[in-house]
């Protein structure tokens, strides 16, 4: 029986080139696996036909858009996860769900090897291979683009030589990855970090310099999950899509950042994540009134570590699983409504309400009806500063000798 290799197929340059290389180099049959994570654009059937046109013996497609939103985007939202304070893990959280379907397809088609089209410079090679070896430890992994040391120029030349039905050409040298959570653009003239992005790079967002009238939206959450927009019930996928549309129209969610890649180099990335950034902003503001202070402080640390783990390809790791349990516990009372104004590239919260809020008007007010006993403050300050006061006295005493 001819060996079979399952290939993670996006429909782009690298994986299209990989189909031909695998066939020529190994003689194996290639089964392309495309996973819909809400990326929009081309239909899965179009991508399927392109895979067949590039030499795949079979092309398997999976609609995982709701799965992606519920099981990957929502945990990212609950963690308020922003890698290095900027990046909402657009590509990083899509790799684990793709890995799940790759391993499933390998079992279904009797493949012993899983292939991906990542380069040796990127993070995705780690995310794919660590995930595959975790879920399918008996499976082998190959990365033909990386192992063949193909540069982007060589890949384009190979595609043109073979007449592969792909859109990437020398006139469009960008590497683009997108899903419902956002869109990532890199390479080309963006690699010079002094170059400003041009308008044609963006697709999910309109230019914020000339926005339409302000758009006020109310997002309702239950236990940290978005459940309604302006009073209309939605699924997580519908919530993300609706805010992609509305926040995107206002230019919300454009990110231009130089980030630290897992492989040790810095990389300039352009991201668009209007829905993700609007939801994270709303969710964080709801947490501000529903999570106790010390718990909230520690959750910020946990969220940062969570983002680092996911960025580094450790979605299925024991530590990630433990952090998930903590984060999920913090969401018990994160229920309520957040009102925000979307305008000119910003999502600004201007209203909050929750039946489980810790905000006490009578304690907070400075007007008549104030129930806060201000006489307690003097003793509290004395005790709070006691250790520093004692240490300062010691310093003065020692310095005087």
- Domain of 82, CATH number, reads 3.40.50.620
> Which pLDDT belongs to residue 11?
82
Average pLDDT, the chain: 92
According to DSSP, residue 98 is labeled: H
Question: Catalytic one among 4, 48, 50, 95?
Answer: 95
> Is 187 within the bounds of a domain?
yes
Q: 105 falls in which pLDDT band (50, 70, 90)?
A: very high
Mean pLDDT in residue range 106-118: 92
pLDDT bin (cut points 50, 70, 90) of residue 355 is: very high
160 and 184 share one domain: no
In a domain, 394, yes or no: no
Domain boundary among 153, 172, 191: 172
Residues 211 and 141 in one domain: no
Instruction: Provide the pLDDT for residue 118.
Output: 85
Task: Indicate the number of domains in the chain.
Answer: 2
Answer yes or no: 95 catalytic.
yes
The answer to whether 109 touches 295, Cβ cutoff 8 Å, is no
Q: Which residues of 39-137 form beta strands (DSSP E)?
A: 58-63, 113-115
Residue 14 among the catalytic residues: yes
Q: Which of 36, 124, 177, 312 is catalytic?
A: 124
| Nearest-angstrom CA–CA distance, 192 and 185 | 14
Residue 148 pLDDT > 70:
no
Domain of 234, in residue numbers: 179-353
pLDDT at res. 13: 79
43 catalytically annotated: no
Residue 23, pLDDT score = 83
CA–CA distances in Å: residue 7 to residues 33, 40, 165 = 6, 21, 17
Query: Which pLDDT score is estimated for 175?
Result: 80
Active site residue 375: no
Among the listed residues 142, 148, 95, the one whose alpha carbon sits nearest the alpha carbon of residue 114? 142
Residue 87 marked as a ligand binder: yes
- 399 pLDDT exceeds 70? yes
What span, in angstroms and rounded, lies between the C-alpha atoms of 82 and 87?
A: 5
Let me know if residue 367 belongs to a domain: no
Indicate whether 54 belongs to any domain. yes
Q: Are residues 251 and 330 in the same domain?
A: yes
Asked whether residue 282 carries a pLDDT value surpassing 90, the answer given is yes
Would residue 121 count as lying in a domain? yes
Only one residue has tokens 């006993």, namely 373
Summarize the confidence of residues 216-225 as an average pLDDT: 98
- Say how far apart CA 332 and CA 327 lie, in whole Å: 10
Q: Is 396 within a domain? A: no
Q: Are residues 216 and 272 in the same domain?
A: yes
Q: Highest mean pLDDT range out of 11-25, 278-292, 353-367?
A: 278-292
Helix/strand/coil for 224: coil
Residue 354 is assigned to a ligand binding site? no
The response to whether 20 counts as a known ligand-binding position is no
Instruction: Specify the residue for token string 């893990």.
Output: 89
CATH of the domain at 281: 3.90.1260.10
Q: Is 379 a member of any domain?
A: no
**124 annotated to a ligand binding site:** yes
289-300 pLDDT tens trace: 999 999 999 999
Is 281 labelled a binding residue?
Answer: no
Q: What burial letters (b/e) apply to 198-219, b meaning 16+ CB within 10 Å?
A: eeebbebbbebeebeeebebeb
Among the residue ranges 181-190, 239-248, 249-258, the one predicted with the least confidence is 181-190
Provide mean pLDDT across the span 187-208: 92
Pairing type for strands 225-229 and 215-222 reads antiparallel
pLDDT at 288 over 70: yes
- Collapsing DSSP to helix, strand or coil, 226 comes out as strand
Interval 308-318: pLDDT, tens: 999 999 999 99
Do residues 183 and 291 both lie within one domain? Answer: yes
Asked whether residue 119 is marked as a ligand-binding residue, the answer is: yes
Cα angle 50-55-61, degrees, rounded to a multiple of 5: 50
Report, as an integer, the average pLDDT of 345-369.
93
Where helices occur in 233-314 by DSSP H, the ranges are 236-249, 274-290, 293-311
Q: Which two tokens stand for residue 114?
A: 């899983």
Is residue 368 a part of any domain in this protein?
Answer: no
Task: Indicate if 38 and 122 belong to the same structural domain.
Answer: yes
Q: Are residues 183 and 313 in the same domain?
A: yes
Q: Does 264 show up as a binding residue in the annotation? A: no
CB 117 within 8 A of CB 88: no
Residues 260 and 151 in one domain: no
DSSP 22: H
Residue 315, pLDDT score = 98
Considering the domain architecture, whether residues 286 and 210 belong to the same structural domain is answered as yes
Q: Specify the pLDDT at position 228.
A: 98
Residues 70, 155: one domain?
yes
Distances (CA, A) of 324 to 124, 315, 385: 22, 10, 36
Q: Is 127 annotated as a binding residue?
A: yes
Q: 164 or 246, which is more confident?
A: 246
pLDDT score of 187 more than 70? yes
Q: Do both 150 and 279 map to the same domain?
A: no
Q: What backbone phi and psi angles, to 5 degrees, belong to 33? A: -120, 115
Q: Are residues 188 and 324 in the same domain?
A: yes
15 labelled binding-site residue: yes
Cα gap 298→187, rounded to integer Å: 37
Answer with the one of 172, 201, 232 that is the final residue of a domain. Answer: 172
Position 174 confidence tier, pLDDT thresholds 50, 70, 90: confident
Whether pLDDT at 156 is above 60:
yes
Catalytic residue among 4, 14, 91, 152: 14
Residue 257 pairs with which residues in a beta bridge? 269
Name the pLDDT band for 171 (thresholds 50, 70, 90). low
- What are the φ/ψ torsions at residue 313 (nearest 5 degrees)? 80, 25
Residue 183 has pLDDT above 60, yes or no: yes
Spell 89-109 as b/e; 16+ CB within 10 A means b.
Answer: bbbbbbbbbbbbbbbbbbeeb
Of all residues in the chain, the percent with pLDDT exceeding 90 is 75
Question: Tell me, what's the pLDDT at 153?
Answer: 77
Which of residues 154, 172, 190 is at a domain's end?
Answer: 172
The pLDDT tens digits for 68-102 are: 999 999 999 999 999 999 999 999 999 999 999 99
Residue 168's pLDDT band, with cuts at 50, 70 and 90, is low
Q: What digits encode the pLDDT tens for the residues 17-67? A: 888 888 888 889 999 999 999 988 788 888 899 999 999 999 989 999 999
Q: Which residues pair with 33 in a beta bridge?
A: 8, 60
């Amino acid at each position: 029986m001819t060996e079979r290799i399952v290939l993670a197929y996006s429909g782009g340059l690298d994986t299209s080139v990989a189909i031909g290389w695998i066939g020529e180099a190994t003689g194996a049959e290639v089964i392309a696996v495309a996973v819909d994570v809400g990326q929009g654009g081309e239909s899965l059937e179009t991508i399927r036909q392109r895979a067949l046109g590039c030499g795949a013996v079979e092309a398997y497609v999976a609609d995982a858009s709701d799965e992606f939103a519920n099981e990957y985007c929502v945990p990212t939202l609950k963690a308020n996860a922003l890698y290095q304070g900027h990046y909402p893990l657009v590509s990083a959280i899509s790799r684990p769900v793709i890995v799940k379907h790759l391993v499933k397809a390998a079992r279904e088609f009797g493949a012993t090897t899983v292939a991906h089209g990542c380069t040796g410079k990127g993070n995705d090679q780690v995310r794919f291979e660590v995930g595959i070896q975790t879920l399918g430890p008996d499976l082998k992994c190959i990365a033909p683009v990386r192992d063949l040391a193909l540069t982007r120029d060589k890949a384009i030349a190979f595609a043109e030589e073979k007449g592969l039905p792909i859109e990437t050409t020398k006139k469009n040298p960008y590497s683009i990855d997108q899903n419902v959570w956002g869109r990532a653009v890199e390479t080309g003239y963006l690699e010079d970090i002094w170059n400003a992005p041009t308008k044609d790079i963006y697709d999910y967002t309109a230019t914020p310099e000339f926005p339409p009238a302000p758009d006020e939206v109310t997002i309702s959450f239950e236990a940290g999950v978005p459940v309604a927009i302006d009073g209309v019930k939605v699924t997580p996928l519908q919530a993300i899509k609706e805010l992609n549309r509305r926040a995107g129209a206002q230019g919300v969610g454009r990110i231009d950042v130089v980030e630290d890649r897992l492989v040790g180099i810095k990389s300039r990335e352009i991201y668009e994540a209007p829905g993700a950034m609007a939801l994270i902003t709303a969710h964080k503001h709801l947490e501000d009134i529903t999570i106790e202070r010390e718990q909230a402080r520690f959750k910020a640390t946990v969220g940062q570590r969570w983002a680092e783990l996911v960025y580094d390809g450790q979605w299925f790791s024991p530590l990630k699983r433990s952090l998930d349990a903590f984060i999920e516990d913090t969401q018990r009372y994160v229920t309520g409504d957040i009102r925000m104004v979307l305008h000119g590239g910003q999502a600004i919260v201007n209203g909050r309400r929750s039946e489980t809020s810790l905000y006490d008007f009578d304690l907070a007010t400075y007007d008549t009806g104030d129930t806060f006993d201000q006489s307690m403050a003097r003793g509290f300050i004395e005790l709070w500063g006691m250790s520093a006061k004692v240490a300062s006295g010691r310093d003065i005493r020692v310095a005087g000798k």
